[in-house]
A and B are shown apart, each in its own frame.
Chain A
């Protein structure tokens, strides 16, 4: 299983290219000179202490945050202030949030079909079939007509993953998908993410789940103070960290 997971697809097909990107909140320099290329089918885990800018980095990729310098190119489209381009990119880039952010006034099924119906202009019936397919996949189909408030945290996060899958994205960004969950629910969400990985989905995951990183990531990035300090394939990263701060961080979370 591990062999096909670490097998990167073609090296010549970058889906995300970030060049010399900087971001400030007011005077505060949150992201410093970020350079990152993500190939199609690649899975990257980003870790680092809180406040290191890792969430901000992936939120820049679908323009939930604006960068001030440098270039971000997603799927051949450069992110600028052009609203049309931003919306185009958001359709191709799925996002899973720490706090799920399901729409509480809509049923699970409606949560899943909303994007396809209004953005992709899919006919309602087809959208519902797709939605049921993905709900089946995250093993939650029997809850389709309930409201998010009636589901547990783990179930909600699986619905959130299904919701982003329904848009048939090329990349999915995960912003700490398991850190708001009760411990016993972490596994059910990680299992869904691992099966996504096995199907070759391109994933950028901000997470401290080191087991997950070891089993599915092609690369692990360590960020601190708004910079990418270290970048390596998982075995090297965990077995032989180079940077002092990486060593310190790993020793703290692995205890």
Chain B
């Protein structure tokens, strides 16, 4: 009885149909007001002008597994430049018959990265898995043990080199950066000034000049006959460079942690390392996830600068492919392919950082 008297008090009221569903969304986002309607129309026209021709070029008229002559005839994109040369682009001068080894190393790396994405998997066993994985990857690349043929590091190139430089570079740079940031906050004048000078000096020069120094200047100081692997030298330069940037970002995070947190940690009797490790750094690093990932992403792309010291990373092997007279003029296709690889890696990083941010958010 009462229900019929007050039908609205018991039923939930739904929003008017005009505001929901696809039509509602289109109205609200594309055609609310004359200006936005105009913008929508202009952009639709621009998309109409660009997207269909691109699809035509890239997919419909394209040739995938042909010779370069056939490519010329088709008029569309010539993906054959990638498919024909993919082994050189991905693995550089690594002996042709042994290229399954770097491929397997990459597969192991990707598997480990994907498995580590889930924070529930972060146990001690994962650390062992990484240790074993990294050792196996090194062994696969270098060989010389267990009947694997030895391959000189001068022949390493392409994607494995890019990943090697980045994965080691970034994982080593992060802790070094944290130590530098803590050092810069130190009350001990020598530690502090060392860190300040280091950070300012390294940040003040371009990565290219550091790479040059490591490959040209640094060997001059080594004793006669002694050489250090050029990949290792580039690796150290990348670590040093990235660490300086990480340090400044982490320092910002340290300053962002409330002073009361330091005091609460101290008043419990935690010593410096305990309070940093348990209280301050977890909070500081959480604050700086977005800027750190920006640095990691740009450092990842910066590894392509090692071309200037004659290392054949992914970008350099692609350029080399394109110097082949047969394939000259197909640089767009080759570079789109390389860009895709870079994009996938960077997207993985930024996507992961957003996931991590969400998971670590306890403020609610």
Contacts and interface: CB of A to CB of B under 8 A. Distances in A.
Contacts of A164: 267-268
A94 B260 contact: no
A103 B282 CA distance: 10
A104 B269 contact: no
Given A87-B271, A118-B274, A119-B270, A105 B260 contact: no
A105 B364 contact: no
A13 B309 CA distance: 74
A120 to B, nearest CB: 8
A104 B283 contact: yes
A103 B286 CA distance: 13
B9 interface: no
Contact of A119 (B258, B260, B263, B268): B268
A43 B175 CA distance: 47
A105 B267 contact: no
Nearest to B265: A103
Interface size of A as a range:
20 to 34
A113 to B, nearest CB: 11
B264 A104 contact: no
A91 B286 contact: no
A114 B261 CA distance: 13
Q: Contact size class for B?
A: 20 to 34
B278 A114 contact: yes
A99 interface: yes
A62 B269 CA distance: 10
Interface string B254-296: 0000101101111111110010001100110010000000000
Contacts of B279: 103, 114
Interface in B32-85: none
B268 A114 contact: yes
B362 interface: yes
A105 B362 contact: yes
Contacts of A115: 268-270
A101 B362 contact: no
A97 interface: yes
B363 interface: yes
A167 interface: yes
A62 B362 contact: no
A29 to B, nearest CB: 23
A104 B263 CA distance: 14
A93 B267 CA distance: 8
Nearest to A118: B274
19 contacts: A83-B271, A87-B269, A88-B269, A90-B266, A97-B263, A101-B260, A103-B265, A104-B362, A104-B363, A105-B282, A105-B360, A114-B268, A114-B270, A115-B268, A119-B268, A119-B269, A164-B268, A167-B268, A167-B269
